[in-house]
């Protein structure tokens, strides 16, 4: 199957549901025969960007590196699903311009909901001062101004969020 490459960039706070939606989308696209790759922020940090900290400069470099890999895959016809907090608007826009075929998904859930979902205990550790520069606590998250899709995971089921993303990808001609 000849397919058009695209980077589908899921951004939002830790615990908002980025990985959950991207995994569900990956399953659907694989089942439909699409070539896909998942770049999950946590896994990328363990491998590709090990050694980077959480300063603004390091976070930006992390996103640039994810963007570089996404660009290579996208231009070669792969649908790339990126799930990364990517808290700063400016670097997301830089990556969007570089990749071109880029669909931004704002996975939006209020901080209180994300803290309730905190399976890794990160928010609790950040509130206790054990983790510094934690997005949403003592480091900012800049929501997208014009995302192609906004998934309100505090108000909609996974199936609704997934349908919104699939509908947008179909509308833009990336999938049929």
Q: Provide the annotated active-site residues.
A: 86
The helix (H) or strand (E) run that includes residue 79 is: strand 79-83
Using an 8 Å Cβ cutoff, are 38 and 132 in contact?
A: no
What is each CA distance from 70 to 44, 118, 168, in whole angstroms?
12, 28, 19
The helix (H) or strand (E) run that includes residue 107 is: strand 102-108
The two structure tokens encoding residue 45: 């940090």
The helix (H) or strand (E) run that includes residue 75 is: helix 56-75
Dist. CA 80–CA 70, nearest whole Å: 6
Dist. CA 159–CA 90, nearest whole Å: 30
Using an 8 Å Cβ cutoff, are 6 and 79 in contact?
A: yes
Q: What burial class does residue 73 get, using C-beta atoms within 10 Å of its C-beta: 0-12 exposed, 13-18 middle, 19+ buried?
A: buried
């Amino acid at each position: 199957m000849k397919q058009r490459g695209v980077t589908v960039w899921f951004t939002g706070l830790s615990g908002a549901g980025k990985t959950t939606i991207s995994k569900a989308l990956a399953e659907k696209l694989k089942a439909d025969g699409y070539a896909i790759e998942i770049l999950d922020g946590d896994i990328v940090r363990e491998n590709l960007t090990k050694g980077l900290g959480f300063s603004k400069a390091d976070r930006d470099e992390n996103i640039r590196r994810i963007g570089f890999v996404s660009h290579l895959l996208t231009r070669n016809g792969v649908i790339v699903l990126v799930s990364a907090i990517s808290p700063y608007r400016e670097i997301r826009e830089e990556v969007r311009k570089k990749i071109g075929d880029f669909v931004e998904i704002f996975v939006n859930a209020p901080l209180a909901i994300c803290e309730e979902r905190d399976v890794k205990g990160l928010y609790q550790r950040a509130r206790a001062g054990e983790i510094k520069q934690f997005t949403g606590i003592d480091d900012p998250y800049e929501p997208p101004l014009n995302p192609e899709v906004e998934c309100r995971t505090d108000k909609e089921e996974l199936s609704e969020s997934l349908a919104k993303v699939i509908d947008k990808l179909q509308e833009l001609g990336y999938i049929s």
